[in-house]
Structure 1
């Protein structure tokens, strides 16, 4: 088997996300074409032997699953400071792993990346085969911020991206990995990271939006359908992404929940996931809402920071490739 006749798909997780990525992988397998070859790589720093085996056991004759332990040295520049906290809540290196995929896997000129909290409802080759022209990658616009005026303001005033509707969510990515290498994306990323430790609500996503601005192909919204209190469900979502706090293993009434449970019930993770749902309390849900409010309130803090994207660009720093 050569890399030219397999469809490479990547996930990045921490060990506690194993049940969710397991369900996502199963959904991808359910829609795979038995005549095609797929290689799934799960990037992780640490994973238990039990979880590793559970994921590897999902493999089929034509869907191969590899657990890739990412090198700590590679991640040394990324420090545990407030600027690198995901949406101001917590620090996890795993959100940055996806940025290294083109460099770590030079055998691929194209690759798909999926967040662990996704469900695939179509053959992933349909995404892989999308032509993105001269763009560096393809993702869908971030609908989670479309109806939140403070976050629209944040994109305009703290990131200086106009119009704000072109800001993408990088939970679903079709990479032109060759262009990332040729244009030395990782060098620009490391330079900006180590020089400024840029302060943003979504650190990894902001780097991709900023560095690749105007070289991003916008996927149809059905490729990254997110639960949203302000929108009706899409009729035929190709990929569902349970973004932010809208997790079906925490809330029974989340949009698109049926897609998750239809797959989960036929995985080894079902009992654990149902237990999580049953044990998630009203107090936990109240905290979720408080955390969402806190994320919105952080807009003021980021706006005042000298190291936000708008200020860095105003100083004349070359951000875009």
Structure 2
């Protein structure tokens, strides 16, 4: 039996995925078998080779090219912008994993801006029961008042139950049996509600009440509201403040300890050294712009929370 793990990336994120994959391989149990599948579109042959070389005797790295046809209903529209900033199709890839890989009844998904500090097999061993997936609460936004209002007043979701989609233990069989993708496509094409984290917000909405909450150590995120966790099992550099752009963030050293052990270290170090204070200020402005976007969505009389209450949407 193999332990299936998925990344979904765009080609320009290969360097960061390489550091994450290196950390995953480093902590893999040599007595177990792992298959890491990287889902992308138009990844260069050079980058495929770079990532393949990070595999080991028991960690097999594979690639999957996702089709334009499958993604055709997902349009470049403002309601599909990530963090109200830009459109990137790759954030939606994870939603299709259960349907694309029917050989797996269960799988782990992690974002590429992560560091794995423990054996990912422990995460895979999570007993899901009748839950659709397991994840962690979104600590990067959970204690931000503006985002609390967004979760409850724009999405109509209990803010204490809102999860981050950067790490998922997927009940693939239940996703297929219960027609998750059909529900997602219906919501997307019929209502196309405005949101800040499209894939994440759809997961929270469609799977509400069917999510298993895991300990925060499996999705530790730098933030200004909670202390750094000791011995995090998985670190997720969510939102704007990345360790290759900022030095004064939580969990900074974990990234660079792993980056130094990859071929991309000189390139990543140069990016950190050459990132200007002006660029950092712009990143902080992006956070402010995201909060402004949430304010407009909260005040919209046709936001998703209002619409689903008015027309009694059932999923």
CA contact (8 A) 1:210 1:319 kept: no
CA distance in 2, matches of 1:308, 1:28: 39
CA distance in 2, matches of 1:17, 1:310: 34
CA distance in 2, matches of 1:124, 1:17: 21
Shift, 1:304, TM fit: 4.0
Shift, 1:317, TM fit: 4.4
Question: Structure 1 79/305 Cα, relative in aligned 2: closer, same or farther at 3 Å?
Answer: farther
Q: Deviations over 1:106-127 (max 9, x none)?
A: 0000000000000000000000
With the length of structure 1 as denominator, give the TM-score of the two structures. 0.96
CA contact (8 A) 2:221 2:236 kept: yes
Of stretches 247-256 and 173-182 in structure 1, the one that deviates more from structure 2 is 247-256
CA distance in 1, matches of 2:219, 2:201: 17
CA distance in 2, matches of 1:319, 1:173: 24
CA contact (8 A) 1:140 1:172 kept: yes
Of stretches 136-145 and 294-303 in structure 1, the one that deviates more from structure 2 is 294-303
| 2:198 corresponding residue in structure 1 | 203
Q: Does residue 1:76 correspond to 2:67, yes or no?
A: no
CA contact (8 A) 1:24 1:120 kept: yes
Q: Does residue 1:115 correspond to 2:115, yes or no?
A: no
Query: Residue 315 of structure 1: SS of its match in structure 2?
Result: helix
CA distance in 2, matches of 1:125, 1:274: 31
Instruction: List gaps (5 residues or longer) in structure 1.
Output: none
Q: Deviations over 1:208-229 (max 9, x none)?
A: 0000000000010111000111
| 2:61 corresponding residue in structure 1 | 65
CA contact (8 A) 1:196 1:307 kept: no
Query: Residue 203 of structure 2: SS of its match in structure 1?
Result: helix
Map residues 1-321 of structure 1 onto 2, 5 A cutoff.
5-162=1-158, 164-305=159-300, 308-320=303-315
CA contact (8 A) 2:83 2:196 kept: yes
CA contact (8 A) 2:39 2:65 kept: yes
CA contact (8 A) 2:149 2:298 kept: no
Instruction: List gaps (5 residues or longer) in structure 2.
Output: none
CA contact (8 A) 1:14 1:47 kept: yes
CA contact (8 A) 1:109 1:177 kept: yes
CA distance in 1, matches of 2:133, 2:314: 17
Q: Deviations over 1:161-216 (max 9, x none)?
A: 12x11100010000000000000000000011111112101111000000000000
CA distance in 2, matches of 1:94, 1:70: 10
Query: Residue 286 of structure 1: SS of its match in structure 2?
Result: helix
Question: Structure 1 287/57 Cα, relative in aligned 2: closer, same or farther at 3 Å?
Answer: same
With the length of structure 2 as denominator, give the TM-score of the two structures. 0.98
Query: Residue 167 of structure 2: SS of its match in structure 1?
Result: strand
CA distance in 1, matches of 2:248, 2:311: 47
CA distance in 2, matches of 1:252, 1:139: 27
CA distance in 1, matches of 2:8, 2:86: 16
CA distance in 2, matches of 1:99, 1:135: 16
CA contact (8 A) 2:118 2:233 kept: yes
Shift, 1:312, TM fit: 2.6
Q: Deviations over 1:129-187 (max 9, x none)?
A: 0112210000000011122101001111001112x111000100000000000000000
